[in-house]
Amino acid sequence: MMSNTSLEDTYSLRRGEVKKTIRDLHSKIGTAVEISQVVFLTEFNMVMSMLWGSTVDSNIATEFQAVTLKILEVLSKPNMSTNREEGFEEDGLLSKGKKDFLQILMELKEQEDAAMPITLPQLKSMLLEIVIGSTDTTATMVEWVMAELVHRPEVMKKVQEELSDIVGLNKVAEESHVPKLHYLDTVFKETFRLHPALPLLIPKRPSQSSIVSGYTIPKDTKVFLNVWAMHRNPEAWDDPSEFKPERFLSYPCKFDYSGNNFQFLPFDREEEFVLEFPWQRKW
């Protein structure tokens, strides 16, 4: 949805929300916190900032998380919907002479002669998918990562040592550090393997009829992929039920988050499933 330039332009917004969360957590040292709620609120405000340059009331974010069936109602509230057409220049990125993502979509909506015009319902649907896809799943996965680390002090120690070596004890971790945190990356991947955010992924419909292992799958049939079972398949993974981040350092095949190897599908690859069934390829 956004170019690399757009992501770079909004880095300060993401960094600001993370620093705000860290300050809040630091003030609560010694007390219990609900990780999923903290991460969700951080991610929610981060996405809101990148989409239209401002955040929302924490109560709205909490409602968004707790009752996903009311998402459309939340998005229709004055500061998050059609009334945002007014006053764009008053806040957010536009105050710096830049367009936010929502304004770009609104401009496309106004172009009646555009090759692919966008309607208001389509615009809302697009924003809805972006917000849902980048908030609740992220909060869920961070919670799983923290749970695995808390139950495995030896793994947590290795993560902390790597952070100390790469970032430093008296410095703030930045997005630029992430590619250098190799062991932390294996922890993320192992967590995605054991606890996929969407165990059956998003339903797919093949664009043409196919035969899979002798079974005919008619065109447009709704298909669910049990990625939870694929990630725990003993024919593909050694000790599949065990949490072993190191496996991603020793495996000869390189795994990434793009779904290029169908043993490991942490995210959907929409274009792959539209064109062909992944299980038609050998692992």
> Given this model, what pLDDT does residue 73 score?
47
Query: Are 51 and 140 contained in the same domain?
Result: yes
Q: Within a domain: residue 33?
A: yes
Q: How far apart are CA 254 and CA 138, in angstroms?
A: 23
Q: Which domain holds residue 229?
A: 183-280
Burial of 105 (0-12, 13-18, 19+ CB in 10 A): buried
Q: What is the pLDDT of residue 145?
A: 96
Predicted local distance difference test score (pLDDT) of residue 283: 30
Task: With respect to residue 163, please indicate whether it lies within any of the assigned structural domains.
Answer: no
With 0-12 / 13-18 / 19 or more C-beta atoms within 10 angstroms meaning exposed / middle / buried, residue 42 is: buried
* pLDDT tens-place values along the chain, 283 residues long: 567 777 787 888 889 889 999 999 999 999 998 888 888 888 888 888 877 766 666 666 666 665 554 544 444 444 444 444 433 333 444 445 566 677 777 777 777 666 667 777 877 777 777 777 777 788 889 999 999 999 999 999 999 999 999 999 888 889 999 999 999 999 999 999 999 988 888 788 889 999 988 989 999 998 888 999 999 999 989 999 999 999 998 765 678 887 778 888 887 655 433 333 343 333 3
Say whether both 201 and 73 belong to one domain.
no
| Structural domain includes residue 96 | yes
User: Do 122 and 230 have their domain in common?
Assistant: no
27, part of any domain = yes
DSSP 112-170: TT-SS---HHHHHHHHHHHHHHHHHHHHHHHHHHHHHHHH-HHHHHHHHHHHHHHT-TT
pLDDT value of residue 79: 46
170 within a domain of the structure (yes/no): no
> Among positive and negative, which fits the CA dihedral 162, 163, 166, 170?
negative
pTM metric for this prediction = 0.74
Predicted pLDDT at 62: 65
- Which of 150, 173, 202 is the last residue before a domain boundary? 150
Q: Is residue 200 part of a domain?
A: yes
Beta strands in 157-233 (DSSP E): 210-212, 215-217
